[in-house]
Amino acid sequence: MCEYNEGLLIENSMRPKARLIARLDVKNNYLVKGIHLEGLRKMGDPNVFATDYYNQGIDEILYMDIVASLYNRNSLGEIIERATRDVFVPIAVGGGLRCVEDVREALRLGADKVAINTAAIKDENIISEVAEAFGSQCMVMSIEAKRLPGGSDRWEAYYDNGREHSGKDAVEWARRGVSLGAGEILLTSVDREGLERGMDFDLIDAVCSVVDVPVIVSGGCGGAEDIARSALSGASAVAVASILHYKKADVRSLKERTFSEGVNIRL
């Protein structure tokens, strides 16, 4: 028995590791879901969903206020406070965080880390400022990427929830963000988002190959095979939305099938 357990531990330690994150996009205090970050459908109270996913065994929760940058504000404060009473896994928040004080307030309310996109594109210094104030582990650089036309193996970083061009190469922008102090990357394929037909593994491969920090990937996950393939490409976590929200899969079954695909994930 001891020999078997030791062998199993060695086998598991050699597997790529992955975390499963529930992504909850929020608009006006409601959980919403769209396709390509557009055509949003109202789904209900985000904390009801978050608590359910926590009880199922999710590793982290990611709240994104998807209209905050558009309206120059973040309205997740009450949602974060409520979540921390019922959910006891790391919580990340993003959307409308424009300065160190905004981040400080999010952390005070109970967030463990913050995801910043628009503000960083407009002034990259915020990456270093947040990392210096709270530690790199708190500063998650959010990148919303769209593939350039013509089947190119290049992607542009967008902001304002995938609405606005930045002119920045997404892969190079990821590299730059890490050099400025980002401790984690949240990489969303806008092209695949909401489709449940598979993730953009070319994009995942490209970004994971140029950064040495954890990469959370999002957009298009259709099941455990996508989670496993992402981990094999170097992603540290997969943020899942549609298949959980629409109950096409549950956390436990996703984790069990991902483990069976050769990935070390907490069961």
Q: Walk along the chain (267 residues) and give the pLDDT tens digit of each residue.
A: 334 344 544 455 568 899 999 999 999 889 999 888 776 789 999 999 999 999 999 999 999 998 776 655 666 788 898 889 999 999 999 998 999 999 999 999 999 999 999 999 999 999 999 999 999 999 999 999 999 998 789 999 999 888 899 999 999 999 999 999 999 999 999 999 999 999 999 999 999 999 999 999 999 999 999 999 999 999 999 999 999 999 999 999 999 999 999 999 999
Asked whether residue 218 is domain-assigned, the answer is yes
Asked whether residue 93 is domain-assigned, the answer is yes
Asked whether residue 25 is domain-assigned, the answer is yes
CA distance 148 to 150: 7
The pLDDT value recorded for residue 73 is: 61
Are the beta carbons of 226 and 198 closer than 8 angstroms?
yes
Domain of residue 92: give its range. 18-260
Asked whether residue 136 is domain-assigned, the answer is yes
The pLDDT value recorded for residue 69 is: 60
The pLDDT value recorded for residue 182 is: 98
Q: Which residues are designated catalytic?
A: 25, 144
Asked whether residue 8 is domain-assigned, the answer is no
The pLDDT value recorded for residue 10 is: 43
The pLDDT value recorded for residue 41 is: 86
pTM of the entire structure? 0.92
Burial (CB < 10 A; 0-12, 13-18, 19+), residue 89, is middle
The CATH number linked to 132 is 3.20.20.70
Asked whether residue 6 is domain-assigned, the answer is no
By DSSP bridging, strand 139-147 and strand 237-240 are: unpaired
Look at the chain and report how many structural domains it folds into.
1
Task: Provide the residue type at 266 as one letter.
Answer: R
The pLDDT value recorded for residue 12 is: 56
Asked whether residue 124 is domain-assigned, the answer is yes
Are the beta carbons of 165 and 194 closer than 8 angstroms?
no
The pLDDT value recorded for residue 120 is: 97
Tokens of 210: 């140029």
Give the residue from 255, 209, 257 showing the smallest Cα distance to 234: 209
Asked whether residue 11 is domain-assigned, the answer is no
